[in-house]
Amino acid sequence: MGLRESRVDLRARFSLDIYKENWLALEPRVRDALDPALRRLVRDWAPLVWLAPGEQFLPLGVTEFLDNVQSDQYYLRTRIDIESLLQNRSSFLYGRRPAGAVPVYALVKNCISKDMRLRAARNMPMLKTSVERNVFTLIQDPGFLAQRQTNSVSDLRAQILSQEQIRQAATLPRFEKVREESGCQKVHFHVTYWMFYPFSEGKTICVLDLGFFGSWPIPTIGGVCIGTLKEYGSHIGDWEHMSLYFKDNEYPLAMYVSAHDVGAFYQYDPRNGTFIYESQETRKGLFQKPTFPEKVYTAGDSHPILFSARGSHGLWTAPGKHKFVRVPRLYDESGFGTAWPTWKRLELLLEEDNEPLPGWMTFKGKWGNPRSNCHPLARLGFNICEFVDGPTGIPMKKFNFRC
């Protein structure tokens, strides 16, 4: 797509009035295209995301973000300069408290063709629509969300022990109850939960000013920087995601969790209600190889518990300090700050031929400003800038699972 074409396309596609009218009209069609069992699984297994203690840059809905940017060739550029926006704590860059207010975009790829679904529907007996409220919905207990804020892994384990006691008190496992009431229905799909933040905060590193050659990163000595602390890598717009893969069961077979340019695959163990680490991948970069925890616990017996890193928002599967780049050493910090039950406001998007998608899902440019305040080495291809390019959007990301 050429720059001239992209500018025209952006102006056409990002008229918010058109976007809002079209998508409000299209949303019921998307819901109708997804069978109730699939919609229920997408909702029941949506993650519980803990924002980090002290997080300043909260998530935001796409429509509100688009109200504050303008198309500039291949970028969505803020209408006001970044420095002014950062100085104004009420600006859109600081987002909103998310629970029930900020949408999460659930992109569903159904692996069963429409024809097969129609044939199955014709042969299927009438299903009961009422699903008994199970005893495992701990997350709806206000006491769970209002728990003491801490980074302690032992507190997380204590929550899991409480869930285990309730699980043992039940007469039937949760999934057997669901099958008894809703009947046995084949499902085969994967879903990616996309979360959007208007700003991603870069990392502060120790640098030594070499004049014409710019500032160069140097290691700290005993935790003390003998040079200058400088922040690099901030950007407007930030897409984060995790994915689940379902086949023939009321629980997922696998999960993928993304953090920066790496991600981890987990398999679900229905016997103890946890996800078990299987492998990881580095999508790009030579120095990114973090250590992912062996287990991921669930809340309410189904919602994976994830932790959003402070400032950068990469998703981690445990609280604490995570080294994700070896040279220079870069860390993420996460913990029990603000709870974000993502299922409180899900917007379903269906990845299927002839199914409607909102206009912003067709945009293939950058969701933010172009890079600025760069190191001299940027001319040689090194992405060392105070502000880097905004990220590409959902259509430019590959699926983590295949049918």
Over the chain (403 residues), the average pLDDT of each successive run of 10 is 38 42 50 78 98 97 97 91 96 96 96 70 49 34 39 47 41 42 71 98 82 72 81 92 97 96 95 96 72 94 97 94 69 94 96 84 94 71 80 93 94
Tokens describing residue 290: 């973090």
Cα 64 from Cα 95, distance rounded (Å):
9
Cβ 84 vs Cβ 325: under 8 Å: no
Surface-to-core class of residue 14, CB atoms within 10 Å of its CB (0-12 exposed, 13-18 middle, 19+ buried): middle
Predicted confidence at residue 326, as pLDDT, reads: 54
Residue 97 burial (CB count, 10 A) = 12
Produce one character per residue of 140-176: b if its CB has 16 or more CB atoms within 10 Å, e if not.
eeeebbeeeeebeeebbeebbeebeeeeeeeeebbbe
Is cis: bond before 28, omega within 30 of 0? no
How distant, in Å, are the alpha carbons of 104, 141, 191, 262 from that of 194?
A: 6, 25, 10, 16
Sign of the C-alpha dihedral computed for residues 312, 313, 315 and 317 taken in this order: positive
Cβ 226 vs Cβ 218: under 8 Å: yes
Query: How would you classify residue 184: left for phi > 0, otherwise alpha for psi between -120 and 50, otherwise beta?
Result: beta
Predicted confidence at residue 382, as pLDDT, reads: 62
Tokens describing residue 335: 């913990």
Predicted confidence at residue 223, as pLDDT, reads: 76
Predicted confidence at residue 227, as pLDDT, reads: 80
Contacts of 334 (CB under 8 A, 6+ apart): 50, 52, 151, 307, 308, 309, 310, 316, 318, 319, 320, 322
Predicted confidence at residue 50, as pLDDT, reads: 98
| DSSP 8-state symbol, 301 | T
* Three-state DSSP state, 187: coil
Cα 192 from Cα 394, distance rounded (Å):
10
Cα 383 from Cα 200, distance rounded (Å):
16
How distant, in Å, are the alpha carbons of 151, 229, 381 from that of 301?
A: 22, 44, 47
